[in-house]
């Protein structure tokens, strides 16, 4: 077995010429952090066009470096990416018991807080943890920022983009050490989970396990990949050996994008772009 090599950590810093920090009150800022790496994108809400995309590798995200981009954004979201989340039907959700609801599936460590997202595309809540240190850093720089889980942006984006689809589809969004997997049927959520991995074989095993458990035919049911995976990666090649239809996600069609993004893999920042949908 070989260790997975995720997408290179090379910095990306793309800014469209039309971007103007003085117009930040018409912009939405989306940020994505896994505690070590900070990516962000800026959407002009008047034109529905993404103008800025940046991905930096730091020992801890330095949110203050975003000051140069504006100080009065129309809205700000920050998504955290880790496998400690769980979906709860709204009818069963009790904010007073959110810690115990999450702890049923995931341990809550010292220095962590429990947050909840509302999944607007379905009648459910998404419970997850965030480190107090990270939340403090976000709120210090952007007091009105809305903290969400990356899986919320993933699910909301998929539900919107596939609202008219009648077929079952499988989607996997990869991070450096875990991936989120979602299955839709008839434009509705059928399944959502996350799996930690170390090797390409782990990824293939868990995805095929989900196919088997939900009685999905790998010869027929399409798999779409997004996130930290290269088109030449070993895990991609391995999946092709077992699943007939494997493809990479295209840019979310809810938005327009600067020509500066032309060389950016369309699947890599999928949830960063769909994060704005969590503010609607």
Over residues 132-145, the mean pLDDT reads 90
Cα 43 to Cα 280: distance, rounded to the nearest angstrom: 14
pLDDT (mean) for 77-91: 94
Reading the block at residue 269, the tokens are: 């920042």
**Could you tell me if 155 and 192 are in contact, meaning their C-beta atoms sit under 8 angstroms apart?**
yes
Task: Provide the Cα torsion 76, 141, 59, 21; round to 10°.
Answer: 60
Q: Is 104 exposed, middle or buried (0-12, 13-18, 19+ CB in 10 A)?
A: exposed
CATH 3.40.50.720 matches 162-248: no
Q: How confident is the model at residue 8 (pLDDT cuts 50, 70, 90)?
A: very low
**Phi, psi at residue 218, to the nearest 5°?**
-65, -10
Q: What is the pLDDT of residue 113?
A: 93
- pLDDT, greater one: 185 or 57: 185
Query: 14: which 2 tokens?
Result: 């793309």
| Gap between the Cα atoms of 237 and 25, Å rounded | 44
What pLDDT was estimated at residue 9?
52
Look at residue 6 and tell me whether its pLDDT is greater than 50: no
- CA pair distance 199, 207, nearest whole angstrom: 13
pLDDT of residue 7: 46
Distant-in-sequence, close-in-space partners of 100: CB < 8 Å, separation ≥ 6: none
Higher pLDDT among residues 7 and 47, named by residue: 47
- CA dihedral 35→38→43→45, nearest 10 degrees, is 30
pLDDT digits (tens, 9 = 90+) for 147-206: 999 999 999 999 999 998 889 999 999 998 999 999 999 889 999 999 999 999 999 999
CA distance 170 to 175: 17
Rounded distance between C-alpha atoms, residue 210 and residue 240, angstroms: 16
pLDDT score for 123: 87
């Amino acid at each position: 077995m070989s260790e997975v090599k995720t997408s290179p950590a090379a910095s990306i810093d793309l800014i469209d010429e039309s971007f103007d920090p003085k117009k930040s009150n018409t912009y939405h800022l989306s940020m994505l952090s896994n505690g070590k790496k900070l990516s962000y994108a800026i959407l002009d809400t008047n034109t529905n066009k993404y103008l800025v995309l940046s991905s930096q590798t730091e020992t801890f995200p330095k949110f203050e470096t975003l000051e140069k981009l504006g100080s009065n954004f129309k809205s700000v979201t920050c998504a955290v990416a880790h496998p400690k989340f769980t979906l709860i039907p709204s009818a069963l959700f009790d904010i007073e018991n959110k810690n115990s609801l999450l702890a049923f599936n995931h341990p809550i460590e010292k220095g962590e807080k429990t947050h909840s997202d509302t999944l607007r595309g379905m009648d459910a809540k998404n419970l997850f943890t965030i480190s107090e240190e990270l939340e403090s850093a976000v709120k210090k720089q952007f007091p009105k920022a809305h903290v969400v889980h990356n899986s919320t942006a993933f699910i909301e984006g998929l539900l919107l983009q596939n609202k008219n689809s009648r077929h079952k589809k499988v989607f996997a969004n990869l991070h450096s050490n875990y991936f989120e997997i979602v299955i839709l049927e008839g434009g509705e959520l059928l399944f959502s989970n996350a799996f930690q991995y170390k090797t390409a074989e782990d990824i293939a095993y868990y995805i095929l396990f989900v196919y088997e458990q939900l009685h999905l035919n790998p010869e027929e049911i399409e798999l779409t990949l997004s996130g930290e995976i290269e088109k030449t990666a070993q895990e991609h090649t391995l999946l092709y050996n077992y699943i007939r239809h494997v493809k990479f996600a295209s840019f979310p069609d809810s938005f327009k994008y600067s020509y500066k993004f032309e060389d950016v893999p369309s699947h890599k920042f999928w949830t960063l772009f769909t994060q704005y949908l969590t503010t609607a």
